[in-house]
């Protein structure tokens, strides 16, 4: 049985079109390739 109140909590307000810029800036764009490069760089520095 679906709990209406609980289900309702899963819906969040949608970002408005004026907020696109903020959405882009706030996005974490670090990928695994970045992590790897950073890791390799740090390993070399330790050596």
Partner 1 sequence: MFCYKCGCVLSEKDFCTGCGADVGLYKKIMYTANRFYNDGLDKAQVRDLSGSVASLRQCLKLNKNHIEARNLLGLVYFERGDVVAALSEWIMSKNIRSEKNIADDYIEMLQNNPARFDTYKQTIKKYNMALVYCQQDSLDLAVIQLKKVVSMNPKYVQARQLLALLYINTQEWERAKKELERALRIDMNNTITLRYLKEVDEMMPTDEEHIKKRREAVVYQSGNDTVIQPVGKKEAAGLQTIFNIIIGIVLGVGIAWFLVLPSQIQKVTSESNDKYREVSEQLDAKTVEVNELTTQISELTAEKTDLTNSLNAAQEANAAIEANTDLIEAALMYMNDTQDELVIADALELIDKTYMENEATESFRNLYDAIKTGIGPVVAKESYNVGYDAFRTEDYDTAVTNLSRAYEYNPKNGEALYNLGNAYNKKGETEKAAEIYEQVIELFPNTEKARKSETYIREIRGETE
Question: Is residue 42 near partner 1 by the rule CB under 8 A?
Answer: no
Cβ at position 45, least distance to partner 1 in Å: 14
HSE toward the beta carbon, residue 35, CA cutoff 13 A: 5
Nearest to 23 by CA among 14, 34, 32, 12: 14
CA distance 36 to 43: 10
Cβ at position 46, least distance to partner 1 in Å: 16
Binding site for partner 1 (CB under 8 A): 1-2, 4, 7-8, 10-17, 19-20, 23-24, 27, 29-34, 36-37, 40
């Amino acid at each position: 049985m679906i709990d209406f109140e609980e289900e309702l909590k899963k819906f969040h307000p949608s970002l408005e079109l004026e907020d696109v810029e903020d959405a882009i800036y706030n996005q974490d764009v670090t990928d695994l390739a970045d992590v790897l490069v950073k890791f390799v760089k740090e390993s070399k520095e330790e050596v």
